[in-house]
Amino acid sequence: MTGITDLAILLAEMTPSLDEERYVFLSLEEQSLTLPTIKMSFATIKESEGWTLIVPVDSATQSDSAEPALFQRIELKVNSSLEAVGLTAAVATTLAKENISANVVAAYFHDHIFVPEQDALTALKCLQRLSAQSRNGAFAL
């Protein structure tokens, strides 16, 4: 497996990047899944209760009348290994200190943090500060 495993390097080199796209999390039953639905999604996750899809809000079709929660995605532009230890904890702890929820999706090359839309800029600044502190050797959980 490729990618960086050293937490100090991951934190120092991560370059958080805010995606301007707005996303929603949907739950669908398997019979409702279609190839176009899967292709438009950022991520699909099979759970015992059904499928969770993370899709751009403009592509979402809501079956209920509830207003979906809107999220924005922050990509950590560092090649993190899936075997790295502590990156998710450091990011989640940093955001938790600002009362910001972090929904983390780890992919093969990068980690993606979905945060509530109203907190996206604050979350980005927090993660940029975390990276800067790590480069200066001042990181502590």
Residues of the chain above pLDDT 70, percent: 84
Q: How far apart are the first and last CA of the chain?
A: 27
Query: What local confidence, expressed as pLDDT, does residue 33 receive?
Result: 62
8 alpha-carbon distance from chain centroid? 20
**What one-letter code names the amino acid at 94?**
T
Query: What local confidence, expressed as pLDDT, does residue 58 receive?
Result: 81
Query: What local confidence, expressed as pLDDT, does residue 80 receive?
Result: 93
Q: Tell me if 2 is assigned to some domain.
A: no
Q: Tell me if 70 is assigned to some domain.
A: yes
Q: What is the Cα–Cα distance from 104 to 124, expressed in whole angstroms?
A: 14
Nearest to 12 by CA among 111, 139, 122, 112: 139
Quickly tell me which residue has 């999220």 as its tokens.
71
* Total domains, the chain: 1
Query: What local confidence, expressed as pLDDT, does residue 141 receive?
Result: 60
User: Higher confidence at residue 82 or residue 1?
Assistant: 82
For the domain that residue 98 is a member of, what is the CATH number? 3.30.2130.10
- Which region among 5-19, 34-48, 79-93 has the lowest average model confidence (pLDDT)? 34-48
User: Higher confidence at residue 41 or residue 117?
Assistant: 117
Give strand pairing partners of 114.
73, 103
Q: What's the mean pLDDT in 105-109?
A: 92
Q: Tell me if 50 is assigned to some domain.
A: yes
| pLDDT band for position 19 (cuts 50, 70, 90) | very high
Query: What local confidence, expressed as pLDDT, does residue 65 receive?
Result: 47
Beta strands in 57-135, from DSSP E residues, in sequence order: 71-76, 103-106, 111-116
pTM as predicted:
0.88
pLDDT digits (tens, 9 = 90+) for 108-117: 999 999 999 9
Q: Tell me if 140 is assigned to some domain.
A: no
Q: Which residues of 72-100 are buried (b: 16+ CB within 10 A; e: fewer)?
A: bbbbbebebbeebeebeebbbebbeeeeb
Which domain covers residue 57, as residue numbers? Answer: 7-135
Q: What's the mean pLDDT in 97-110?
A: 95
